[in-house]
A and B are shown apart, each in its own frame.
Chain A
Amino acid sequence: MTNLLNTFRIAIKALQRNAVRSALTALGVIIGVASVIAMIALGSGARAAIDEQIQSQGTNVIYVSAGSFGRGGVRSGSAGTTTLTLDDAKAIQEQVPSIARLTPVVRTRVQVIAGDQNWNTSVEGGNEDYVVVRNWPIASGANLAPRDILSADKVCLLGDTVARTLFPDQDPVGQVIRVRSLPFRVAGVLAPKGQGQWGQDQDDLILAPYTTVQKKLLGITNIHQLMVSATQSDAVEDVATRITRLLRQRHRIQNPDDDDFSVRTVEEMAQTRVQLAQTMTGLLMSVASVSLLVGGIGIMNIMLVSVTERTREIGLRMAVGARTRDILRQFLTEAVSLSVLGGAVGIVLGVVVSQSLTRVLGWPTLVAPASIFVAFVFAAAVGIFFGYYPAHKAANLDPIEALRYE
């Protein structure tokens, strides 16, 4: 133990003798470790954010969209597929068990005007259950009423962003806005929901009866999407399967590849994004690992220079009784000290960088203690791996040659 401490002290002393050079060498490891820490933090942060969104969204929602995201062939996408209808919605509601709520969805982009303000936003057409399925509280005013849906009234709810843009300093409830020159009465304002799954502003929308959007804004009879909530979250899979089967039957589809609709659950969508986040993290991690590798090569390079420079010192140490393993241990300790000290500084830097990313760019990050441990072990391993060859070279010098070295 005292021996180890001695070796460490000798190593630190040797590194101090070339303080600037040691610092520059450690910089390679510092940058490598810092970027590994920051990348892992970014990855776990993204993951935590996704999890949180799933929790807030409710895990029991199923999206039935017109058009297929299926494999191969030319697909026209949801906008061009007109085969999803209100009859499908009715059939699903009647025939599939365990459905709590269901709303048809149609959407389009519109220019809206209120007073001297105007704004380009999207209109979502739904029924009175839309806000229930999406778990979206109403901040002020009232929800769409079933009567509004039936008679295709020109009423709407404003998303928080739209409300604040069109009515910067008055209560929008009861006001009239013009949507493509048609007057709509504002029945209420939705509570702010924040960023969506892909970072979009979820509050930038207007919610109106789907019948109104179909007839007055789009002139269509089909629907774009159905949002369904299951009665409980473990029924989601079953409901999704039954909807798929029912729609295939109604649309007379034999081959799943020919689906003109797609059924997805929040869980599935989250899965995709978790995978995407993982891929990104993996990519960034590999870049970070390369810099750690380069840092390691830097250590090897400097240690080789150091061995050459200190050939006489090595010869002398051998003459006064240093064994092969003593010299090996000394130079290995120097390399590992470099990489471990670099690793420690890199961890601090990585945490600081992660927090700055969150503060300045708003990216979610999460520094896991495990990642700190892994980075530290990795740094030490780099030191051992890249320090071994120079140390081995030093330990096997011929003492006579080494003492005579100029």
Chain B
Amino acid sequence: MPIIEVRELHKSYVVGDVTVHALRGVNLSIEPGSFVAVVGASGSGKSTFMNILGLLDRPSSGHYLLQGEDVSGFDRDRRAILRNRLIGFVFQSFNLLPRTSALENVELPLLYSTNGHARSSADRHRKALELLAGVGLGNREHHTPSQLSGGQQQRVAIARALVTDPELLLADEPTGNLDSRTSVEIMEILQRLNRENGLSIVLITHEPDIAEYAQRVIAFRDGRVVQDTPVVRRRNAAEERAALPPVEADV
């Protein structure tokens, strides 16, 4: 069973007097454990697609099956519960809470958990610390975002996305605000999560070279899928990082 299956997905909304057709009939399915890149220019509909996949938005028509369940008609609260259980988000601008420690940022989704895990604050601490260690920030749990570099902030955001053990990670331009070295580091983490934990990842990007870290590239134009191909020569972030010249000091 695919983790994501969409059929005849349409989305249109009204801006002033104009009706914008952001999605015009999208059909595709994504198998569990795959790493998919969604590419396209701005206005191609990839962001709208991502919002619907992330249950932040609802399609105007068509069906979205998440783990076989048709969620296209779910109301706000049911979508919120599913987002918490099944989906982790990583954003271009990190979206960490300011003046809040890395640890508390990572714990945040657990506060809204409805399926009973990590109920006590000790449980939440343990879980969050474990995940921060997993992204290489085990010693920085009390740092606030302003005390962390961009790459570190994005790693906190990844830890936050994983804290509820989601089935799907949605990464929206995760390297858009990062330099190329840090981008490789972030992609290395994503590739490792995909390979070792079998986490399904959908990566939204407009950079073709970033898309090459995925196994499959889906290209959007004018609200339609115009290309859906496997990546022929997939990049390996771990090897690339090892080949990079060492940095003088860890920031």
Contact = CB atoms under 8 A, between A and B. Distances in A.
Max chain A CB contacts within 10 Å: which of B89, B109, B111?
B111
Interface in A307-322: 312-313, 315-322
Given A2-B119, A17-B99, A324-B76, A319 B56 contact: yes
Contacts of A17: 98-99
A320 B89 contact: yes
A13 B100 CA distance: 9
A320 B162 CA distance: 10
B164 A321 contact: yes
A320 B83 contact: yes
B136 to A, nearest CB: 22
B80 A403 contact: no
A323 B114 CA distance: 10
A10 interface: yes
B77 interface: yes
Contact of A317 (B99, B108, B119): B108
B160 interface: yes
What 7 A-B pairs have minimum CB-CB distances, sorted nearest first? A321-B84, A321-B112, A320-B109, A323-B80, A323-B77, A316-B95, A399-B56
A150 interface: no
Nearest to B120: A2
B119 to A, nearest CB: 7
Contacts of B51: 400
Nearest to A312: B95
Interface of B: 51, 54, 56-57, 76-77, 80-81, 83-85, 89, 91, 95, 97-100, 108-109, 111-114, 119-121, 160, 164
Interface string A7-26: 00010010001000000000
A323 B76 contact: yes
A316 B161 CA distance: 11
Contacts of A399: 56
Given A10-B111, A326-B112, A400-B57, A319 B83 contact: yes
A331 to B, nearest CB: 15
A322 B76 CA distance: 10
A111 to B, nearest CB: 76
B147 to A, nearest CB: 15
Contacts of B95: 312, 315-316, 319, 403
Given A13-B100, A321-B114, 16 more contacts: A2-B119, A313-B97, A318-B80, A319-B83, A320-B83, A320-B109, A320-B112, A321-B80, A321-B112, A322-B112, A323-B80, A324-B76, A324-B80, A326-B112, A399-B56, A400-B57
Interface of A: 2, 6, 10, 13, 17, 312-313, 315-326, 399-400, 403
B83 A317 contact: no
B50 to A, nearest CB: 10
Contacts of A2: 119-120
A322 B80 contact: yes
9 contacts: A17-B98, A317-B108, A319-B83, A320-B84, A320-B108, A320-B160, A321-B113, A399-B56, A403-B91
Contact of B81 (A6, A317, A321): A321
Contacts of A316: 95, 97, 108
Contacts of B81: 321, 323
Contacts of A321: 80-81, 83-85, 109, 112-114, 164
Contacts of B56: 318-319, 399-400, 403
Contacts of A322: 80, 112
A317 B120 CA distance: 19
A218 to B, nearest CB: 83
Contacts of B119: 2
B70 to A, nearest CB: 20
A317 B110 CA distance: 11
Contacts of B108: 316-317, 320
Contacts of A320: 83-84, 89, 108-109, 112, 160, 164
Contacts of B99: 17
A317 B112 contact: yes
A301 B241 CA distance: 51
Contacts of A325: 77
Contacts of A403: 56, 91, 95
Max chain B CB contacts within 10 Å: which of A6, A317, A318, A320?
A320
